[in-house]
Structure 1
Amino acid sequence: MIVQDVINHLEALAPLAYAEDFDNVGLLVGDKNAKITGVLVTLDTLETVVDEAIDKKCNLIVSFHPIIFKGLKKITGKNYVERVVLKAIKNDIAIYAIHTALDNAWQGVNHMICDQLKLVNKRVLIPQSNTIKKLTTYVPKQEAQQLRTALFNAGAGNIGNYDNCSFNVDGFGTFKGNANSNPVVGEKEILHTEAETKITITYAKHLESKILKTLFKTHSYEEVAYEITTLENKNQHIGMGMLGELENPMDGPCFLEHLKAKMNTECIRHSALINKSIKKVAVLGGSGSFAIQAAQAAGADAFVTADLKYHDFFMAENNIILADIGHYESEQYTKNLLVAYLTKKITNFAIVLSNTNTNPVKYF
């Protein structure tokens, strides 16, 4: 097994196409074709984590946060980022970061928080835009079923709880090839009319390369006529944050105790308690102040996140509890998620859970 094999499994869980534009995800250090000796999974890649990888003979570190976030103009070891990169390169250790690709994944960071809090009826809080594409193409009528089946097998035509979805219209296409053409039907330099089926089918944007490859491989025409458009429709299984419900409502203090225990945090900063039971809970791992209004609009009684500033708490308006449990604490179970996932996918060697606590925040 090589590094790329592990990457393929990770990107099936969290396609990089859905990472935020500001992020730096993917293979940051190393050779994708290097043979794997072991995989270490961590929240952050620090020097101590690289040391742990060396000790445990792991030459691939799968990290939630990217160690390289801004551009590096020099690598001299003057700061912790440069030292990590130098040590990883020196010891032939690859580093892969998944970050907001996993934040936006259905089975990702926020799904894990919901599971920890025992929330049910989960849905995405802020569905991501521009994630659904539509392909329109034209194929000889007798080949339409073969092409539809191939596109379905490539992953096109899935809408919510339905698959094999397409729209088809029969009509007539006209074309005339020039002297250099090699038409499958008709003759060059002669106008030809062909009974065709117009096929319209949607697909998730991360599948575009696969869908087009399938189209060109299956379609018989020398020149394939097709159109691609990006839809305004939102994929309800891709996006930031998640909304769920407690099976049994709790009052404010009980909910905070529940939150503190389940998320293993020493401290919760929160807005004023509200005069109603907590039933609907919004969650967003990491820095989530941008989603306060979305949580309120969704009717959440509480919003669990991190890195809230002083003035953010005023936005509670006495109709929601804003709970800041700490950045590390909100994402700490992410590495457990990745280990469990990779262990199911890769059975010929161990996936190692890092035991290095990378939380830079201490409580007194």
Structure 2
Amino acid sequence: MTVKEITAIVEEFAPLEYAESFDNIGLLVGDENAKVTGVLVTLDTLENVIDEAIEKKCNLILSFHPIIFSGLKKITGANYVERVVLKAIKNDISIYSMHTALDNSNAGVNAKICEVLGLFNTKILIPQKGTIKKLTTYVPKNDAKKLKEALFKAGAGTLGNYSNCSFTTLGTGSYKAGKNSNPTKGEIGKTHYEEETQLNVTFEKAKEKEVVKALIDNHPYEEVAYEIITLENSNQNIGMGMVGDLLNGMEELDFLNHLKKTMHVSCIRHSNLLNKKIKKVAVLGGSGSFAINAAKAVNADIFITADLKYHQFYEAEDKLILADIGHFETEQFTKNLLVDLLTKKMPNFAISLSESITNPIKYF
């Protein structure tokens, strides 16, 4: 398989279209058409990870964090980023990152945290906006069913747990074919009136290419009239963070001990305890201070994240507990998630879970 074929499997799970605008994701180093000898999955791509890839004969590294985040103006080996890129290029190793695309997946980073903590009734904490689009087109009445089915097959018409959703209205369309045209109906130079169906379907942004292709390929007209608009609706299936419930409420200290044990953390920085049971839990892997108000808005009893600053703990305002368990610790199971995904999709391919320790923070 090629780099492109393998990363396409990852993108099906976590479409790059849903990454945050500030991010740098996708293929960062290498040739998408290169044949892959093995895949190494890691949280970070450091020099020891490149060495591990060489040892395991893996020429594709799937890394959660992008080793190249801002622009590189020179590659001289002056810092760890440049040294990683140089070593990867010298050894024909491709590096691919999905970062916030996987953060925003409803089966990604935060879903894994919820699974480890034993949460149920999970949902997205901050649904993403601008990822739902609407297609409107016009098709002869007798061709509407066939076109609709093709659009559904391409991924249009899905709303949450519902599929094959659409809205149609009947009307009369008109057009006059020019001298170089080849009209399906009507004659060149004469205005033609046709009973048409106006067809409306919504779809997720990541499906736009497939939906437009299905429209063009299955529409009977030589020139297809259509419009696509981006809706303001939030996408309940895509976004940052998750919130879920414990099967049984736990005393605060009991839950903090549960958190330490399941997430393999040696210490937890937290705000004031509130002397009430923990039932609803909000999580956000990585730096999640921006979601404190969202966690309060859903009445979470505790918000688990990382990289909280001193003054941000005040934002708990005794409405919930803020628990900072560390950046690496919140994302540590991400590579296991990716290995499981790829192993299911490619059971006979060499997929390796990186054994390299990439957490830069130590505790004494």
Give the TM-score normalised by structure 2: 0.99
Letter in 1 for 2:237: H
| Unmatched tracts of structure 1, length 5 or more | none
Distance (Å, rounded) in 1 between the aligned partners of 2:99 and 2:296: 25
- 1:50 counterpart residue number: 50
Distance (Å, rounded) in 2 between the aligned partners of 1:97 and 1:304: 24
Give the length in aligned residue pairs. Answer: 364
Could you list the structure 1 runs, at least 4 aligned residues long, displaced by more than 3 angstroms after superposition: none
Query: Taking every aligned residue pair, what percent have the same amino acid on both sides?
Result: 65
- 2:329 counterpart residue number: 329
| Displacement of 1:83 | 0.4
- 1:205 counterpart residue number: 205
Distance (Å, rounded) in 2 between the aligned partners of 1:192 and 1:246: 63
Distance (Å, rounded) in 1 between the aligned partners of 2:6 and 2:67: 19
Distance (Å, rounded) in 1 between the aligned partners of 2:307 and 2:161: 36
- 1:21 counterpart residue number: 21
| Displacement of 1:179 | 1.6
Letter in 1 for 2:112: M
Q: Deviations over 1:285-320 (max 9, x none)?
A: 000000000000000000000000000000111121
- 2:146 counterpart residue number: 146
Letter in 2 for 1:233: N
Matched, 1:173 2:173: yes
- 1:161 counterpart residue number: 161
Deviates most, 156-165 or 59-68? 156-165
- 2:283 counterpart residue number: 283
- 1:4 counterpart residue number: 4
- 1:41 counterpart residue number: 41
Q: Deviations over 1:156-215 (max 9, x none)?
A: 001111111111111110000222222111011100001111100000011101111111
Letter in 2 for 1:101: A
Letter in 1 for 2:2: I
- 2:307 counterpart residue number: 307
Contact 2:39 2:60 in 1 (8 A): yes
SS at match of 1:236: strand
SS at match of 1:188: coil
Letter in 1 for 2:111: H
| Displacement of 1:81 | 0.3
Q: Root-mean-square deviation (CA), in Å? A: 0.6
Letter in 2 for 1:273: L
| Displacement of 1:350 | 2.2
| Displacement of 1:271 | 0.3
| Displacement of 1:355 | 0.4
- 1:262 counterpart residue number: 262
- 2:31 counterpart residue number: 31
Distance (Å, rounded) in 1 between the aligned partners of 2:122 and 2:182: 54
SS at match of 2:208: helix
| Displacement of 1:348 | 2.2
| Unmatched tracts of structure 2, length 5 or more | none
Contact 2:37 2:350 in 1 (8 A): no
Distance (Å, rounded) in 2 between the aligned partners of 1:332 and 1:159: 32
Distance (Å, rounded) in 1 between the aligned partners of 2:310 and 2:217: 57
Distance (Å, rounded) in 2 between the aligned partners of 1:174 and 1:230: 27
Letter in 1 for 2:357: N
- 2:236 counterpart residue number: 236
SS at match of 2:235: coil
Give the TM-score normalised by structure 1: 0.99
Distance (Å, rounded) in 2 between the aligned partners of 1:287 and 1:94: 27
| Displacement of 1:275 | 2.1
SS at match of 1:150: helix
Letter in 2 for 1:353: L
Distance (Å, rounded) in 2 between the aligned partners of 1:168 and 1:317: 50
